[in-house]
């Protein structure tokens, strides 16, 4: 099974408010964009991924991610928030391909490895709906729905429990740390750096204050 991934990217000026609080809005926005670029590039390099659809209202993020080969959709109007954006992305994909297998993926996975993402998606293909919990065991980094199944996203906050309660199967694979490691805090960032991040994040980290300077090399593209 091959998948279409729906990746939500919030306006960069509002992103990563907990990351490097003293760094200022500009560096945080640059980091958020770097994370999204590394995430989408790694996803597009995954053999189990047919294509990537980015849902965003940010023109800079949209332009950079489109240049990688992603399809960019404008955020829907209304008060649907993150889950509304994800549902809109899934509906749009299936309006063009009714039989598409659709999965959502967080945009802040700078250590993402295509092979690990492929293992997660192969596992998800065994169930009508499935999800992967984040490294903290509270949230969700990936939610997948097979053809003919509604995605029904319930992200934000304690989404692991909500997705489990909704009937989605929790994927329990070991050795897929890069797919679980989203980045909201400096501690998260250090953990991602220890795994080895993509090529864009280290460049942006060098523009931030010293505590955010990477101490480990980035991973090779496609690793």
**Residue 132 burial (CB < 10 Å; 0-12/13-18/19+)?**
buried
pLDDT exceeds cutoff 70 at 209: no
Of residues 30 and 37, the one with the higher pLDDT is 37
Binning pLDDT at 50, 70 and 90, where does residue 211 land?
Answer: very low
Q: So what's the pLDDT on residue 108?
A: 96
Paired residues of 51 in beta bridges: 4
Per-residue b or e along 94-120, where b marks 16 or more CB atoms closer than 10 Å to that residue's CB: beeeeebbbbbbbbbbbbbbbbbbbbb
Cα dihedral 170/197/117/145 (nearest 10): 60
Find the mean pLDDT for residues 10-34: 77
CATH class of 3-210: alpha beta
What does the pLDDT read at residue 220? 42
Instruction: Note whether 2 and 50 are within 8 A (CB).
Output: yes
Is it the case that residue 210 has pLDDT exceeding 60?
no
pLDDT band at 173 (very low <50, low <70, confident <90, very high): very high
pTM of the model: 0.89
Q: How far apart are CA 61 and CA 155, in angstroms?
A: 21
**Chain segment 66-122, per-residue pLDDT in tens:** 999 999 999 987 667 999 999 999 999 999 999 999 999 999 999 999 999 999 999
| pLDDT tens per residue across span 71-86 | 999 998 766 799 999 9
Dist. CA 39–CA 60, nearest whole Å: 16
């Amino acid at each position: 099974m091959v998948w279409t991934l729906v990746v939500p990217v919030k306006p960069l000026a509002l992103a990563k408010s907990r990351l490097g609080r003293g760094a200022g809005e500009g560096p945080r926005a640059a980091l958020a964009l770097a994370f999204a670029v590394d995430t989408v590039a790694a996803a597009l390099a995954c053999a189990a991924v047919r294509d990537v659809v980015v849902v965003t209202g940010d023109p800079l993020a949209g332009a950079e991610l489109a240049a990688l080969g992603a399809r960019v959709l404008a955020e829907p109007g209304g008060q649907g928030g993150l889950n509304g954006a994800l549902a809109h992305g899934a509906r749009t994909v299936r309006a063009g391909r009714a039989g598409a297998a659709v999965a959502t993926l967080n945009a802040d996975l700078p250590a993402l490895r295509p092979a690990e993402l492929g293992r997660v998606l192969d596992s998800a293909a065994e169930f009508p709906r499935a999800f992967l919990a984040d490294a903290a065991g509270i949230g969700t980094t990936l939610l997948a729905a097979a053809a003919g199944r509604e995605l029904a996203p319930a992200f934000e906050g304690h989404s692991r429990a909500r997705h489990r309660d909704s009937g989605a199967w929790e994927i329990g694979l070991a050795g897929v740390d890069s797919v679980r490691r989203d980045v909201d805090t400096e501690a998260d960032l250090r953990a991602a750096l220890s795994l080895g991040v993509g090529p864009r994040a280290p460049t942006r980290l060098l523009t931030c204050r010293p505590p955010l300077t990477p101490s480990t090399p980035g991973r090779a593209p496609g690793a």
